[in-house]
Structure 1
Amino acid sequence: MKKNNVNKVGLLNFHYSDNNYGAVLQAAALFRVVKNLGYDVEQIDFIPHTYNETFLSSSKRKIKYLIESLFKNKLSIDDKCFEQFRHEFLKRSVKIFSKEELEGIGHEYDAIIVGSDQVWRADYTGRAKYVYFLDFVPKSCKKVSYAASFGLDDWMLKNDSSATSNISGLLSKFDHVSVRESTGVKVCKDIFNVDAEHVLDPTLLVSKDFFNEIIDGNSNDVAEDLNSLVYYKLDKSPVFEEQLKLISKEKFNKVENLFYDGGVQLKYNEVGVWLSKIKNSKLVITDSFHCVCFSIIFEKNFICSANSSRGLTRLESLLGALGLQDRICIDDSQLSNEKYLLEIDYEAVKNKVSLLRIGSLEFMKNALK
């Protein structure tokens, strides 16, 4: 039994995604970190139907979920890989669809950690926003945030005095608060009068061995191709595609889209295959925060083709801390510029990650004492 009787820890984040590799991988990474610290850890399997829908009653939610699973083929052949990954790398609670059910299981944990990912971005969580500030957790349970993200430079509901006041009250009851971006530290202090620590995303908290374990377990081998380019672009444009052709024409014999439209349905790689394609490439081009993280983990040259409308703070905070801010390209017409194709000095980057990892792990250990 741990000090202060902390033994069982619940995790709350966006683990349930059926199209977001970063969401499921950060959940698995955090799960592994807490487990390695010696705790009995469980992913709280909270699945809101949509971010902006009012919670249905428990019984209605379950019926709706079953109907969608059976008749809308929710777990289709294309996205089944995400559920398979969760089954292998997460131990989950019973499925939870309502606020009432959350309140019912809160007492089962000695501590609950919310994070990582954009769990504090109000337009993503909608009417479920208070859940991610742990409004359902009893007083007897420790409340911790790990690398929670507001997603943007500022608190997007600052003009909503009622919501801001409610959340300020909820945050004041947290035992330990950490955020993923340096701007989040400022938001916590300026808007909510709460001190927060700046920590690494969970994917950078575990060793590379964890992700190699995931890769080794996939069903399809991906050969290393030192002359391949892979891209994971959530927002493609004609300009981006033209620049991609220019880059690939002279320098790469293979170009692959890691997240592509196969016609009517999206086709998804197994999670391990997706990782291995990054690991075995020569260059990665992406606008995804977590794809950037995995490019760093596998020491790949990468270009961050950033989309300012999605928010740059996540990328600027991480890459600035690692001395890689020059890998951000906010103008797709400049992607083929030679400066973005220069080799990255990963010795310097690894040293910075190691130092940040020490501080982040120390936060976690202290939070769960």
Structure 2
Amino acid sequence: MNRLKFGILMKKVGILNFQYSTHNYGAVLQAAALENICRQLGHEAQHLDYMAKPKANLRSFIGKLLRKLGIRKAPQANQVANEEAFERFRQNFIKRTQRIKSAKEFPTAAKGFDSVIVGSDQVWRPAFAKDMLAFFLGYVPKGVDRIAYAASFGTAAWEQADDTVLTEAVRQELQQFRAISCREESGVQICRDVFGVGAEHVLDPLLLVDEPFFEKVVAPSSIQPAAKLVYYKLDSSPEFQEDLKVVGKEIDSDAVNIYLKDSSVREYREVPDWVALIRNSEVVVTDSFHCICLALRFGKEVIFCPNEKRGQTRLDSLFNMLNVSAEPLTVELKTPMFKLVRRGDIAGTLESLRSHSMKFLVDALND
């Protein structure tokens, strides 16, 4: 399937991650960024459109039965409108295979590629991945190179260490990879200490991709005017909202919610608008990994809200990689907030890290 284009050996590359999200801006953006990078390297790139379903167990079966009998209430549906915003972004920036409806269909879909890349994002975190065998590329047939780019376990330790059967299965799958890289240093250690394989530490695709990518992303945005203070809080609370007013008063600006539109209904923003609001702001308040990545990349002042539930390890790794420290705000608040302080030249650091990360990807995709 290798072919020459302008003298470059081009491969057909499949990508597997959480691009199918209907609520996560970072998930769709990093997927589009990685696909864009692969294309810039001269390859034909396409996402494997596989959304793993959680395996049925006795507990879920009983719950479903109780809801059917009316004994237990059905879980409330997502009350946020405009999930279509994420699909509109995919249609413009992500090329996908036909929907892979089951694990049985996966090998046939993957057979058409020279290489399959898993990553980035928390694709190796069991609570998120659902079908772990799929995200360790266990359904990819022989003859197709397996690559991990900036894959994340999401935590400092392998969460399924007590499951010896799964751990051994993952170890065997990782042995089949051509090249492995992780988004966090802790992931490199897990690969080495738990699974006995080597891995490199690389940048998230949103920090690796070039600036023209973002120019294309924000081009459709109609956000006017720019907001000085914006916030993207995955887990908000009344106390946080009170603290936000305190922060806004300090810099003489109201805070604009970039998670949802300012309207009478709870409604997701368009993805280009979300990026544009970060890019055009001065101060960003957030507990989101990818929002922090973009804010730092765009040179914004960042106020970080720790969120252990979402995973602190990946942020600690990012701060260490970019030589950034978190210092408590000096105003009195009810919730913890920290100002991110740059200890060096982030632009220069990123340039060096991009060279290393790009070399990993180039070498992994070359014969």
Fold match, TM over 0.5? yes
Displacement, 1:21?
0.2
Displacement, 1:240?
1.8
1:341/1:86 CA distance change after superposition, 3 Å: closer
Partners of 1:256 and 1:161 lie apart in 2 by 47
* Structure 2 counterpart of 1:253: 253
Query: Which blocks of at least 5 consecutive residues in structure 1 are unaligned?
Result: 55-72
2:178 pairs with 1:181: no
SS class of match (2:326): helix
SS class of match (2:194): helix
Displacement, 1:261?
8.5
Q: Do 2:322 and 2:346's aligned partners in 1 also have CA atoms closer than 8 Å?
A: yes
* Structure 1 counterpart of 2:345: 348
SS class of match (2:95): coil
* Structure 2 counterpart of 1:162: 165
Partners of 1:336 and 1:237 lie apart in 2 by 14
SS class of match (2:281): coil
* Structure 2 counterpart of 1:206: 209
* Structure 2 counterpart of 1:360: 357
TM-score, normalised to structure 1's length?
0.86
Q: Do 2:150 and 2:183's aligned partners in 1 also have CA atoms closer than 8 Å?
A: yes
* Structure 2 counterpart of 1:326: 326
Partners of 1:53 and 1:232 lie apart in 2 by 34
Q: Deviations over 1:268-326 (max 9, x none)?
A: 11111001111111110111000001101211100121211221111010111111132
* Structure 2 counterpart of 1:67: none
SS class of match (1:230): strand
1:336/1:363 CA distance change after superposition, 3 Å: closer
Q: Which residue identity does 2:320 align to in structure 1? A: G
Partners of 2:335 and 2:95 lie apart in 1 by 44
SS class of match (1:96): coil
21-30 vs 273-282, greater mean Cα deviation? 273-282
SS class of match (1:144): strand
2:25 pairs with 1:28: no
* Structure 2 counterpart of 1:215: 218
Partners of 2:154 and 2:264 lie apart in 1 by 30
Q: Which residue identity does 2:248 align to in structure 1? A: S
Q: Do 1:222 and 1:276's aligned partners in 2 also have CA atoms closer than 8 Å?
A: no
Partners of 1:208 and 1:278 lie apart in 2 by 14
Q: Do 1:6 and 1:368's aligned partners in 2 also have CA atoms closer than 8 Å?
A: no
1:246/1:264 CA distance change after superposition, 3 Å: closer
Q: Do 1:18 and 1:79's aligned partners in 2 also have CA atoms closer than 8 Å?
A: yes
Partners of 1:293 and 1:242 lie apart in 2 by 25
Partners of 1:161 and 1:282 lie apart in 2 by 48
- Counting matched residue pairs gives 341
Q: Do 2:12 and 2:115's aligned partners in 1 also have CA atoms closer than 8 Å?
A: yes
Partners of 2:268 and 2:43 lie apart in 1 by 33
Partners of 2:253 and 2:191 lie apart in 1 by 47
Q: Do 1:208 and 1:297's aligned partners in 2 also have CA atoms closer than 8 Å?
A: no
Displacement, 1:214?
0.8
Q: Do 1:222 and 1:273's aligned partners in 2 also have CA atoms closer than 8 Å?
A: no
TM-score, normalised to structure 2's length?
0.86
Displacement, 1:333?
3.5
1:249/1:122 CA distance change after superposition, 3 Å: same
Displacement, 1:238?
3.0
Displacement, 1:335?
5.1
Q: Do 1:231 and 1:258's aligned partners in 2 also have CA atoms closer than 8 Å?
A: yes
Q: Deviations over 1:190-245 (max 9, x none)?
A: 00001000000001111222112110123x233334xx211111112333222111
Q: Do 1:22 and 1:290's aligned partners in 2 also have CA atoms closer than 8 Å?
A: yes
1:136/1:277 CA distance change after superposition, 3 Å: same
2:171 pairs with 1:138: no
* Structure 1 counterpart of 2:73: none
Q: Deviations over 1:141-178 (max 9, x none)?
A: 00000000000000000011000000000001101000
* Structure 2 counterpart of 1:299: 299
Root-mean-square deviation (Å): 2.7
Partners of 1:231 and 1:356 lie apart in 2 by 28
